[in-house]
Amino acid sequence: RTMGPWTWVTWVAVSLMAAYYAFTNFEKAFPITSLDISADRAFVVGKASNLRESLYNDVTLRPQLGSDFYSAAEFESSSSVQHFVELEGGGNKNFSDLIKTGVFRPFQWKVRHYYPGETTESSFSFDPSGEIIGFTTKLAEDELATGNLNESEAVKLAVKVATGDPWNLDINNETLYKLVEHSTETQVGGREDHTIVFEETEHKSLHFGDGRIQIALSVKGDSVAGIMPIFKVPEAFKRRYQNMRSLNEALSLFAWVLIVCVYGIGLLVAIYKLLRSRWLVSWPALKCSVIVSAFVTGTVVNGYPQTWMQYDTATSPAAVLAQFSLMVVVSFVFYSIILWVSLMGSEGISRTVFKPHIQLWSHVRSLRILASKQVMSDIFIGYLLVPIMFAYEVMFYFFNQHVFGWWTPSSPLVDPNISATYLPCLTPIAMAFFAGFWEEVLFRGLPLSGSKYISSSIFSSILGMLGQAIIFGAAHANYPAQPSYARLVELILPSILFGVLYIYRGLVPGVVMHFVYDLVWMGLPLFLSKNPSAWGTFNQVVVIIVGLSPLLVSLIANMIYGDPSSEVFRQNLNSSWKPEPKSEEKKKESIQRLPKAPQIYSNIGSQILLPIALALCIAHIGTSPEISEKIPEFGFIQSAEGSARILANKMRFPSKMNKLSLQSMQMQGDEANLRMKNLQNELNDVQKQYSKREEAKLSKAELNKLKQISEESRVRIEEKMDKFREVVTYLQNVEGSIPYQFDIALNWTRLPAFFSRSADSQQQRYIIQNYPELIGSLSENGFIPKSGWKVRFVRLFTNETVEKKAEEWSVDIGDFVENKAKISHTLPEGVIGLNLTRKEAQTFLLSSLTDLSIFPEVCNDPQEVLAEPIKHPRRTDWKFEYKCTASSEVTIKEDLPLDLRVVGEVSGRVDGSLEVLYVQQYVKPPENWLRNDRNTRKIVGLIKKAVGMISTFGFIVASGFALYYWGEGNSGFSSTIAVRSFCAFSVISLIRHSNNILHLAYTFSTAESVETQVFTKIASILTLLAIHGSVFALITSLSFSLGFRSRQHPGTPPRKVKLTAIAIGLTIRAIELMVSTRFPRVAPVRVDTSPLQAIVPYFHLLFGGTISLIVQIAVCLCIINSILWSDGYTQNSSSIIGFARNFGFFTLCGLLLAGSVVTPVASAFHFLALTVLMTSTAWMAHILCFKYHTNTIPFAVAAWRSVVMLHRGVQLVRLLPSNDLTSPGMLLPLGYLSAFCFEWILTIWYSKYTQPNVNQK
């Protein structure tokens, strides 16, 4: 394994040549954006403060001058603009020209001035050199202005300020800029806000395609409050890019599915085998994982200053700090567990099959091994491979870009945000080491050693080598590069090389190479920054020292200890490792049954608690506080096709929305056909001229320009013809009007889904708290959304372009009364239409709203508060918003107004007709109330996240203990239980997901291929199913194992004990209902109509309830048995320790119960009360019943879940029409669940698999 001098000379020579080639050809392979980033964070923050003082009297800036404020800054890049210009706007050269000309800066510094609790704030934008670009100011909606300006005055003021210092924009030059949009909005306080958009025309020569460079000016009241350049990326490109990127994401998802399923299962099997053979070494792996995870988590803490750029000033800084701390803890736990499991399995299997390798942990704990020539050689090889890897990357991308036209986004290679962190060098060091260490362990160590462990044949080795290379490459395919398989092809060859290196040299060379290679990439921003300070120089030195640390440590160790003897070296090889001998003495377990439960406890539960809890549940079921809704009388037992056809037949547009006669359509179709023929002749002439450009004496540029103009005309006419072919009109005489009805053509796909409108929305919380008497009226008039059907009509399975597929119709039917439905029409941005004037669109919309009876009785005299033109490339639509004044019958609170809004959008077609694209009604709560509500809800959200983290961590710990007991072969643990639990959970979950296929299909995007979306959704579902099923199986098996260890009764409990358990379950449900009705709530509670989303609704209720039931049974069994099992460790301890232990366990149980039943509309006080009551109930249940008979837990949980499902079934039966055949089916899950639970838990598993163990001596 040692190499001769000439071999080393060859290695060094090749590495040096590779370094020279990579350095000299780097820019040819990787497009580099030339940026003059001479400004750092401190400079732009200081300049923003100076501008705030100098510009305060000229423009509107907040917080006000002289008041306290905080600053936050970050460096931003507009990736969407970059990708558009590089792919469709002229390529990398045009993107560089865009930066050089300065017409738009895709890379900017952003500085934010804010103060906690204040609505108003300002932000400044600077270019990389520190020159001001623009600013925006946010004002409170009720802030008054000294005066309001009309449209012409606002334009004059905005132009005056923008053309002055320091902006110096020549927007008053009509040859350079043109006014394209001017919208007005009236705020609550009466202030008139104007948004004025100028579009630049000078730089069209840069050929940005349909991209548009604009200047947005904001005038609020009588002062300018914003000047900001923007780049409008075409919608068509966004959809094409989404379609293109979906393949990258699908490849990456495919790799991660294999990682989770194949590698994950491999790790579990490896740990199990190693435990059984006593070859598992866990403690060094845990220490290493904790240290590495601490460094990685340090990068999260390191970026804390940047979190204030996204800080919501409505929430308290303490809540932000709490949320950030929670994220830090979650990151640390996640990385620790992932690393620990990966290291244990991979290192253990490698130790069994690669005998000549040095033991991995010898590198960590023994400096003498680090001093050996073998380790020094491995480290040095890793360093020599770094330039070779760079040379390969340069050669690979240079060849494919110039030969095959592959695309890689250009990069400035500089990230100034790194200087905004506490310790800039920490992020590249920690992330490079984590990626290098963990990826080599997972992608090289596990598959290569695992394939050799399974079989020593050459076929198995080749399969492992190719498998790890493909999975490693595909896992990195989500990088922005084209084609989608670029990264996969790129990394296959290096992965095979590193795999061969691992087989012959071990893990060290690959880890060193991977670490240093990533460190060079990630640390470049520290070295390319201009004018680094002393602090910047210090971070550069740290990066260099850490990058050389593996070699330096090995050299220092060699200087101290010298090369170890051959005997010492052999002792640290894998071949010399021996497991500790198994103890011959086996402790005999004497099964001592616990005493039976006192008779008084059984009497209390069965005779007192049971009738009280049952009466409370029945009382609350009959008087539930939910808002009931009328459900449409179709769609529940019909197919998706039938539901869509019923909806299509009921769709009606107002008579004045589109009055197009069939004759008019035919005439316009004939005209379009004639124009198409003329255009085809024109295109033929162009092609002839192009083929004979020398005879015609036309330059290639002139011909291309002519061809482009003709092509655009052809596309526009074809779009018009497509529209005429798709839309078929029917003239029907309904109530004296002639409505317009569109026919569902064969190329439209119908995607129906039932939506259960959540009550957890701010507008609903506002109404229930302040105007509860108007809930019914506002809901009937559409201002509060209702549960109901929603159907999308899309072109999902056609061969049309993604641009055309952007068009879709949507029908939203809540309470289907008088054949009214909310219909919206989404038009692609590139559709040709009319450039409507404000008056034309306004007159048509008001007339249509009157015909639709949109304005309800509760509001009078609608006032226009928003008029916004929406300028598309080939048409101008208009969006209007109206404010309804409440009628005199409604008592309005002084500080809490009832602000009803109606929003509509109008578009004009080329045939001269107008169309209302959509109409939406909503309630607009006051801004101050919204901010207070967000602050309140932030606390509830943090509590729920903390509970979720605790429960997830508990599941992981329980799974780890189960795997440990399983591997050790302890008594009481049955693999049969685990397998059957996994199968039961997987089958039920799979049926449940299949039943929700309608709702899943509704979410499909027309910008991506159907095949890709089907694959990603199925892969995601199966992966999550495998993870959840495995965790459930391990927890279930652990609960039975702990039950055996705690010497519990395996038999069927007495009748009174069963009744006591049922009483406990009913008590839990009664407490939940009482807390929901007696404690203050912040929003109404709607009936849960989520089962109606499924194809068979009662299957949704059935299998969803079954999964909740078996999971909660397993968790409760695990917790109670853990308490009883731990009695053996604390029985000799003081009562204080026992009380503290029980308090911790039952508090955890109370949190989990509260987290599983609390609704998303609950307040923090609601959650706290529920947690306290659930904790007390769990403790009481333990004292009365569970500590004597743990096998009564299924009775308690089943009773609780059965009442829950009975409640939901009764609610749904009330909602469904009387002739709906599914109503009786809603009650079927009750009997099924009881039978399933008791048979599954008690008879089949508990008695069969734990009874024999009890009889052991």
- pLDDT for residue 1242: 47
Q: On the CB side of 48, how many CA atoms lie within 13 Å of its CA?
A: 33
Q: Which residues contact 628 (CB under 8 A, 6 or more apart)?
A: 1087, 1211, 1214, 1215
- pLDDT for residue 313: 93
Please report the sign of the dihedral spanned by the C-alpha atoms of residue 570, residue 575, residue 577, residue 582.
negative
**pLDDT, tens digit, 9 for 90 and up, residues 298-352:** 999 998 988 999 999 999 898 899 999 999 999 999 999 999 999 999 999 999 9
Task: Place 910 in a pLDDT band, splitting at 50, 70 and 90.
Answer: confident
Q: Give me the amino acid identity at 752.
A: P
What is the Cα–Cα distance from 1092 to 753, expressed in whole angstroms? 9
Of 725, 735, 724, 723, nearest to 654 (Cα)? 735
Q: Which residues contact 620 (CB under 8 A, 6 or more apart)?
A: 1070, 1073, 1074, 1077
SS3 1087: coil
What is the Cα–Cα distance from 748 to 726, expressed in whole angstroms? 9
Residue 475 tokens, joined: 């896992």
**pLDDT, tens digit, 9 for 90 and up, residues 956-1003:** 888 888 888 777 765 566 777 788 888 888 888 898 888 888 788 888
In the numeric block, the tokens 């006000």 are attached to 64
Per-residue CA distances from 202 to 178, 581, 955 (Å): 10, 83, 62
What is the Cα–Cα distance from 283 to 116, expressed in whole angstroms? 46
Where helices occur in 996-1081 by DSSP H, the ranges are 997-1002, 1010-1045, 1055-1078
Q: State yes or no: pLDDT of 813 exceeds 50.
A: yes
Residue 1085, H or E segment: none
- pLDDT for residue 739: 31
Contact 1012, 242 (CB under 8 A): no
Local structure of residue 590 (DSSP, 8 states): P
Q: State yes or no: pLDDT of 633 exceeds 60.
A: no
Q: State yes or no: pLDDT of 275 exceeds 90.
A: no
Residue 151 tokens, joined: 């449209």
- pLDDT for residue 195: 96
Residue 554, H or E segment: helix 534-561
The residue-averaged pLDDT of 1099-1121 equals 79
Residue 220, H or E segment: strand 212-220
- Give the residue, 414 or 65, on which the prediction is more confident: 65
- pLDDT for residue 705: 56
Contact 229, 213 (CB under 8 A): yes
The residue-averaged pLDDT of 1072-1083 equals 64
**pLDDT, tens digit, 9 for 90 and up, residues 1045-1069:** 555 444 556 677 777 788 888 888 7
Of 759, 754, 752, nearest to 631 (Cα)? 754
Q: State yes or no: pLDDT of 430 exceeds 90.
A: yes
Give the predicted TM-score (pTM) of the model. 0.83
Q: What is the mean pLDDT of the chain?
A: 77
- Give the residue, 712 or 159, on which the prediction is more confident: 159
Task: Place 69 in a pLDDT band, splitting at 50, 70 and 90.
Answer: very high
Q: State yes or no: pLDDT of 224 exceeds 90.
A: yes
Residue 1048, H or E segment: none
Q: Strand order of the sheet with strand 749-755?
A: 749-755, 788-794, 808-813, 822-826
What is the Cα–Cα distance from 528 to 545, expressed in whole angstroms? 18
What is the Cα–Cα distance from 254 to 336, expressed in whole angstroms? 25
Stretch among 912-916, 1031-1035, 1123-1127, 1228-1232 having the lowest mean pLDDT: 1228-1232
The residue-averaged pLDDT of 598-617 equals 68
Q: State yes or no: pLDDT of 165 exceeds 80.
A: yes
The residue-averaged pLDDT of 618-633 equals 52
What is the Cα–Cα distance from 836 to 131, expressed in whole angstroms? 39
- pLDDT for residue 197: 95
Q: State yes or no: pLDDT of 354 exceeds 60.
A: yes
The residue-averaged pLDDT of 115-140 equals 93
What is the Cα–Cα distance from 1089 to 1072, expressed in whole angstroms? 19
Q: Are strands 121-126 and 875-886 parallel, antiparallel or unpaired?
A: unpaired
Helix 283-302 with 426-440: angle, nearest 10 deg: 140
Task: Place 859 in a pLDDT band, splitting at 50, 70 and 90.
Answer: low
Q: State yes or no: pLDDT of 766 exceeds 80.
A: yes
- Give the residue, 879 or 948, on which the prediction is more confident: 879
The residue-averaged pLDDT of 1162-1174 equals 76
Task: Place 689 in a pLDDT band, splitting at 50, 70 and 90.
Answer: low
Cα dihedral value 1233, 1235, 1237, 1242, nearest 10: 170
Q: Which long-range contacts (CB under 8 A, 24 or more apart) does 645-648 make?
A: 645/744, 645/750, 647/752, 647/789, 647/791, 647/811, 647/813, 647/821, 648/744, 648/750, 648/791, 648/793, 648/811
Q: State yes or no: pLDDT of 170 exceeds 70.
A: yes
Instruction: List 922's β-bridge partners, or say none.
Output: 901
Q: What percent of the chain has pLDDT above 90? A: 24
The residue-averaged pLDDT of 184-204 equals 87
- pLDDT for residue 730: 30
Q: Give me the amino acid identity at 707.
A: K
- pLDDT for residue 726: 42
Q: State yes or no: pLDDT of 407 exceeds 60.
A: yes
**pLDDT, tens digit, 9 for 90 and up, residues 291-311:** 999 999 999 999 898 899 999
What is the Cα–Cα distance from 644 to 641, expressed in whole angstroms? 5
SS3 65: coil
Q: Please report, in angstroms and rounded to a whole number, the separation of the first and last CA atoms in the chain.
A: 55
- Top mean-pLDDT range of 66-70, 181-185, 405-409, 592-596: 181-185
Task: Place 701 in a pLDDT band, splitting at 50, 70 and 90.
Answer: low
Q: State yes or no: pLDDT of 542 exceeds 90.
A: yes
Q: What percent of the chain has pLDDT above 70? A: 75
Q: State yes or no: pLDDT of 808 exceeds 70.
A: yes
**pLDDT, tens digit, 9 for 90 and up, residues 448-460:** 999 998 888 888 8
SS3 182: strand
Please report the sign of the dihedral spanned by the C-alpha atoms of residue 430, residue 436, residue 438, residue 439.
positive
Task: Place 867 in a pLDDT band, splitting at 50, 70 and 90.
Answer: very high
Q: State yes or no: pLDDT of 603 exceeds 90.
A: no
- pLDDT for residue 849: 78
Instruction: List 884's β-bridge partners, or say none.
Output: 900
The residue-averaged pLDDT of 256-270 equals 88
Task: Place 123 in a pLDDT band, splitting at 50, 70 and 90.
Answer: very high
Contact 1019, 249 (CB under 8 A): no
Stretch among 401-405, 661-665, 839-843, 943-947 having the lowest mean pLDDT: 661-665
Q: Strand order of the sheet with strand 900-908?
A: 70-77, 107-114, 121-126, 132-138, 223-232, 212-220, 192-200, 177-186, 859-872, 875-886, 900-908, 914-923
Q: State yes or no: pLDDT of 238 exceeds 60.
A: yes
